[in-house]
Chains A and B, each alone.
Chain A
């Protein structure tokens, strides 16, 4: 805006208006009592807290509207603590608002910028310091120092190397081998085709030797879902169809997007849904992605029955299971 236009003027800080507590001693006395009552309520809160801690058993539940059945110990402990803290605050603020001076005060700001001579002195001191150290002249020292500092910076990287092993083939291999039996999870029981009715879903893992402990990091790769459809419901090519057995099809349960367990199966639509990011897979079409962020179908495990009539893997997974990673080839 140009200078000729006259702006509306600042009328300045409005005159101070006194509160009743400033002018009326009775009002001030009343405010004082109110503050004291608030502080006493806090004390009462602490006593409630101590009493609840000692006298209310931990297993008593009482009914409260809105809250429902509530653990009495936890509730009164918490309410006592809340009151003990809250009312100290209320008392202090009420005190400040009614009895402490409420006249606004003006102070001036200072400039942050240092005066020119201070700046000049600083530059000189910095330059003198650098010159005294001879950094500019002694390039041999400068360069060797640079080198050694750089190398020192590398050492944490070296020292952290043992945080974990290299991936090796861990991301591409699972425990499934040719002939590995599928067993129920939980229960570890081998499964016959007739155990599964049409429409049923079973969560399975590869069989392990008796007494052997299953590691979570194995489950994170090995979990397999068995789903039984009517064979005519499949819409698969010949190879994939040969990976199924009497309408039973097996997929990795680990989402091809970010590794969550793909646990929601919709019997009506024959869709598998991952609850994390809603990637949706069509079971009849080899878990093709029909919705959501996943870019790849769930890997299918080829299955058959062994001589004893139990479901087994025809072969290991033919691709890595779980989320993508750089070295994955497709």
Chain B
């Protein structure tokens, strides 16, 4: 035994005698994780969060979250002598006086954008592959929660510097609070410590941004990861992979090296962006004052869809018994996002209600094999995309020489028309892909070799695909729709007929598929 082994051994012994960790570690160091590039998306989100904690902590050492007015006397000449909040002045100081300060600010902002992008793409991966199905519904809901908190956290974060652009964003947030029936103006006055903008808001959202929400993130991410760990990761279908096993690489050493290495790569890329790509140059916007604004006011991208919805809302307000209900704010700002996010959180339960499927699923769906789900996903994304486009209507108008009115009307109509079209097209595409899979299994791969038959006909030679590929294309289940009787055996109509009808209808739509190729089909073809 070398000296090093002896030391390591006695440390391990010391810890194990007090915690019994060896048993747990033994089991988990050899835990197997399936490998696929799309499983890295969640990792990117996790690593960006760590980068946010590190760079954010750096920023707190110099940032002064106060709306106390100061006269700027730093090194950025265009703003010297101007009145501004201490928050804005200290952000300028971080950018111009503190060495590495601008780099950290830019890393922090880039990491936030990557964090949100990774969450959204990770969510899309989980959705389109059906990874949210039993037993992973809890983790889906936690994920939706993290996405929601991420949007809020990001908004609060870019609001903190108190520059002209972000102040405008806060003004809009205040207008949404103020628009709430009954309690709106009270809530707004409580949040802002009086009339907008007051001097209380920046210090308050600072506490929320650096303490409350990161705490919530930490708790939710911990549970999210513990569940992934305990339930074991899903895997894509393939030869040798079943609902009962996990095929992949062990945590030690391969996965640890890859995952650990990937953290440094994500951090490195973020640092590179922070070094070369300017982001949120607040010194160009100037300090916030409610009477000024810069043209082309844009939120960060993950808020853009919300802004786009607000922009396209019709000018609708009700005046009832001397009270005002501003629908033009409530519908796009609260009601539609509320419906979207609630629907998203509940989707696993809705789908399992439609299909009646209460079994566990660990093998992921290929999106084409769940046409209805895939189409619904693309439909939702189309909705978001139209909203996002409208959120940049001023930028698009100036870039492409259009009028804002044209883009606004495109969005107002498109938000209703395009998502259903996307649904239909996607569903048909999925079914076509299923048909192509079937053809591929039954007739093989086109080789591109043309052969002339004795009678002069040209045919393309097809080559049978490998058994592995054939398995991949046929391993999925094709379940018939739910058979819901409207009346029971004695002819008595069941309660909830309408609900059952709806369910049967949706179940039928959900089960539409091209029959997959079977061994029998293959045999039949060989006979010909």
Contacts and interface: CB of A to CB of B under 8 A. Distances in A.
Contact of A14 (B239, B253, B312, B408): B239
A276 B290 contact: no
A181 to B, nearest CB: 17
B519 interface: yes
Given A7-B519, A93-B265, A217-B197, A260 B171 contact: yes
Interface stretch (A129-137, A161-169, A191-199, A231-239): A161-169
Contacts of A261: 168, 290-293
Chain A CB count within 10 A is highest, among B253, B326, B520, for B326
A106 interface: yes
Interface string A41-59: 0000000000001000011
B99 interface: yes
B254 A87 contact: no
Contacts of A28: none
A104 interface: yes
A260 B168 contact: yes
Interface string B214-253: 0000000000000000011000000111111111111001
A258 B271 contact: no
A82 B312 CA distance: 41
A227 to B, nearest CB: 15
Interface string B288-329: 111111111100000000010011111111010011111011
B402 interface: no
B220 to A, nearest CB: 21
B264 A89 contact: yes
Interface stretch (B340-348, B418-426, B467-475): B467-475
B293 A167 contact: no
A82 B311 contact: no
Given A14-B239, A105-B248, A1 B200 contact: no
B328 A293 contact: yes
B102 interface: yes
B276 A78 contact: yes
Contacts, number: 330
Interface stretch (A116-124, A138-146, A302-310, A320-328): A320-328
Given A86-B264, A329-B319, A219 B328 contact: no
Contact of A293 (B190, B195, B310): B310
Contacts of B394: 275, 278
B189 interface: yes
Contact of B103 (A78, A279, A293): A78
Interface stretch (B176-184, B446-454, B487-495): B176-184
A107 B471 CA distance: 21
What range describes how many residues of B lie at the interface?
Answer: 35 or more
Contacts of A275: 293-297, 394
Contacts of B272: 78-79, 82, 86
Given A104-B248, A105-B248, A220-B195, A324 B326 contact: yes
Contact of B257 (A14, A100, A104, A105): A100
A295 B315 CA distance: 4
Interface of A is mostly: loop
B329 to A, nearest CB: 7
Contacts of A278: 311, 393-394, 404, 408
B291 A106 contact: no
A10 B244 contact: no
Contacts of A323: 174-175, 178-179, 326, 329
Interface in A242-257: 253-254, 257
Contacts of B307: 277
Interface residues of A, number: 96
A208 interface: no
A257 B330 CA distance: 12
Contact of B276 (A6, A75, A96, A166): A75
A67 B474 CA distance: 51
B14 interface: no
A63 interface: no
A101 interface: yes
Contacts of B329: 257-258, 323-324
Contacts of B380: none
Interface in A69-100: 70-71, 73-75, 77-79, 81-93, 95-97, 100
B316 A295 contact: yes
A216 interface: yes
A216 B289 contact: yes
B172 A276 contact: yes
B200 A164 contact: yes
Given A261-B291, A325-B185, A85 B264 contact: yes
A95 B254 CA distance: 9
Contacts of B261: 88-93, 95-96
Contacts of A73: 99
Interface in A284-330: 289, 291-296, 322-330
B362 interface: yes
A261 B297 CA distance: 11
Contacts of B183: 326
B267 interface: yes
A128 interface: no
10 contacts: A10-B240, A74-B102, A86-B264, A86-B265, A106-B247, A219-B290, A220-B197, A220-B291, A263-B292, A277-B307
Given A104-B249, A322-B175, 7 more contacts: A8-B522, A12-B239, A78-B272, A81-B275, A167-B188, A276-B293, A330-B322
Interface of A: 1, 5-14, 53, 58-59, 67, 70-71, 73-75, 77-79, 81-93, 95-97, 100-102, 104-109, 112, 160, 163-167, 170-171, 185, 203, 205, 216-217, 219-221, 223, 253-254, 257-261, 263-264, 275-279, 289, 291-296, 322-330
